[in-house]
Structure 1
Amino acid sequence: MSMSASDFFRAKLQCEIDVMEVAESEPGSLVVVDTRRQSSWDHGHIPGAVHLPTAQIPALGRDLVPAGSHVVVYSWGPGCNGSTFAALAFAELGYSVKEMIGGIEYWIRNGLPVETAAGIVPSAPDALVTAHKS
């Protein structure tokens, strides 16, 4: 049985969230999970995110993310499907999970802050990507 286009896109929207919706979400309503490797995390990540590389989710997901949480996973950007694998892993653990489309690349391109060892640093919005004003 094939799925209609409207059913496909309705289902897709239930599994994805964009960076601005994550940024504007009620504090504490989402557990944002960075699924990239340690060096990428160290380079910069979303403030308040949990670091849990995709391969470690089956073993550590339940220990690091409280049951019943609304999970949002991200990886580098649209050219990387690491967050898709991570979303699948969390879904298989029984979590409500969405994939943040655009990843940290579009988080940064939308002018949102990034956390590094030096603290939280602002990003300059890319006018070709967002109308968001910092």
Structure 2
Amino acid sequence: MSHVTAVPAADSAVALAHFQSTLQFETDCWDVHDALSSAGEGRTGFILLDVRSPAQYAQGHVPGAINLPHGKIIESKLAAWPLDTLFVTYCAGPHCNGATRGAIRLAQLGRSVKIMIGGVTGWLDEGFELARPEMPEAAPVVGT
């Protein structure tokens, strides 16, 4: 017996329910990129939040992302968006829990939220470019 088989796998109905439910909480870099590439300005159906620090955001961020550090997510900073707005959070990558912290704060405020799994690391792994200050695209930073 190996560590893989020591705990039996869930039956298929339980596994199906589990894996389907993850898509209610997560999206991936490819799907975000596809939505950003194929939708017109402001027509993605979600607001992409980079929840890292402004300094990290300035070093490179997903094009179109708005910088709102997870510790600064409060209702007044979300007032510009309708209550039914879907937010997608991301941070540095799988080694970072900032996207989860941001998602928790948004959910506590009654907002719909998903996490972009992989974060910046996943974005780069997919071969996508980051926006940087010297590049023409300059996503807004939500007030401090």
TM-score tier by shorter-chain length is 0.7 to 0.9
Where do 1:55-134 residues align within 5 Å?
55-63=71-79, 65-119=81-135
RMSD over aligned Cα atoms: 1.9
Between the aligned partners of 2:96 and 2:80, the Cα distance in structure 1 is 23
Change (3 A) 1:76 1:64: farther
Change (3 A) 1:62 1:9: same
Contact 2:75 2:109 in 1 (8 A): no
How far 1:8 moved relative to its partner? 2.9
Find the partner of 2:24 among 14, 19, 27.
14
Return the structure number with greater relative CO, CA threshold 8 A, min gap 6.
2
Structure number with larger C-alpha Rg: 2
Between the aligned partners of 2:18 and 2:77, the Cα distance in structure 1 is 28
Contact 1:34 1:49 in 2 (8 A): yes
Q: Deviations over 1:63-103 (max 9, x none)?
A: 35443211110000001111011111111112211100000
Runs of at least 5 residues in structure 1 that lack an aligned partner in the other structure: 122-134
How far 1:120 moved relative to its partner? 5.7
Of Structure 1 and Structure 2, the greater strand share is in: 1
Between the aligned partners of 1:112 and 1:63, the Cα distance in structure 2 is 31
Runs of at least 5 residues in structure 2 that lack an aligned partner in the other structure: 1-13, 138-144
TM-score if structure 1 supplies the norm length? 0.78
Change (3 A) 1:57 1:75: same
Identity %: 33
Contact 2:48 2:66 in 1 (8 A): yes
